[in-house]
Amino acid sequence: MTSKVDKTYGYIYDGDQMTALIDTAFILEQQLLQQLGGRLKRMRKLRKWSSTTMAQHVGISRTTLAAVEAGEATPSIGTYLRVMSALGVAGELALLGSGALQSGSEPVRPAGKHAAVPLSVTVKAASQAHDVQDLQSLVLHQEAVRLMRSQPALILQAQETLARWRSGPNPHAQFLWDEWSVILHRRDWRRALSRTGRGKELRQASPLPGVLPAGVRAQVLAQVSALKQGIRLGSPAADVAAALEAPAP
């Protein structure tokens, strides 16, 4: 049987079976951005700067600053650089941009005054269990949204799940389910994927992971497990991808 590849949404269809083409670097990128945003937020608080003061100093809105500190991908690298400059850590990015830092996959320059410094670091998921859970939940929702965009009928499946939950005896998550009803009706995926505290709270009462095939969930769990063990950067990209795709221990 011939396999059909949907490159737009990243899925392979083999008859009735579907496998996700999950970007193996996505989880790693999410972790790095979250770590950077969290570090910038801690540095701001150590200086006892309010978010309003910081945003005014940098020349951005508080909403944009919140996105940077949450490690979102939407702010430009220039915006990140402006925040880093205000906190006195822009030099770290400047080292990379100037070529003073070098990954292990690049040819080594001859030793000398301008020789690059080889760089190799290990990236691990945050040690706090709730941070790992947040990352895993975010990626599962990213995949669910990607799938629903390619198969809108799955939105109805999520709405039916939500209707069953809302008719049950447990009232504690009712206000979150009400919000999910609006999100699904409007297809407001930005709220579903928000890294704000509210976004994390919503994902704890979400019907979206239920639309994912078991194979997709297994891939995400395996990649998060690999990140918990640690991924070494400075190795060839193929090595990083292999580490992320390795079966969970």
What pLDDT is recorded for position 178? 94
What pLDDT is recorded for position 33? 86
Residues in Cβ contact with 239 at an 8 Å cutoff, skipping those fewer than 6 apart: 232
AA identity, residue 22: I
pLDDT tens-place values along the chain, 249 residues long: 444 444 444 444 444 444 444 555 667 777 788 888 989 999 999 999 999 999 999 999 999 999 999 888 889 989 999 999 999 888 776 666 665 555 544 444 444 555 544 555 666 666 565 677 888 899 899 999 999 999 999 999 999 999 999 888 777 889 999 999 999 999 999 999 988 889 999 999 999 999 999 988 888 888 888 777 776 665 555 454 555 555 555
What pLDDT is recorded for position 233? 62
Task: Tokens for 52, please give them.
Answer: 């309003």
What pLDDT is recorded for position 74? 86
| Per-residue exposure over 106-127, b if at least 16 CB sit within 10 Å of its own CB, e if not | eeeeeeeeeebeeeeeeeebbe
Task: Tokens for 30, please give them.
Answer: 């999410």
What pLDDT is recorded for position 91? 77
- pTM to 2 decimal places: 0.65
CATH for the stretch 26-121: 1.10.260.40
What pLDDT is recorded for position 153? 94
Residues in Cβ contact with 203 at an 8 Å cutoff, skipping those fewer than 6 apart: 134, 137, 138, 141, 192
Using alpha carbons, list the distances in angstroms from residue 119 to 39, 99, 108, 176.
Answer: 20, 11, 11, 44
What pLDDT is recorded for position 238? 47
Separation between Cα atoms, residue 105 and residue 83, nearest integer Å: 29
Nearest to 143 by CA among 15, 11, 35, 52: 11
| Per-residue exposure over 25-49, b if at least 16 CB sit within 10 Å of its own CB, e if not | ebbbebbebbbbbeebbebbeeeeb
What pLDDT is recorded for position 101? 54
What pLDDT is recorded for position 225? 82
What pLDDT is recorded for position 234? 57
Burial class (CB within 10 angstroms; exposed 0-12, middle 13-18, buried 19+) of 22: buried
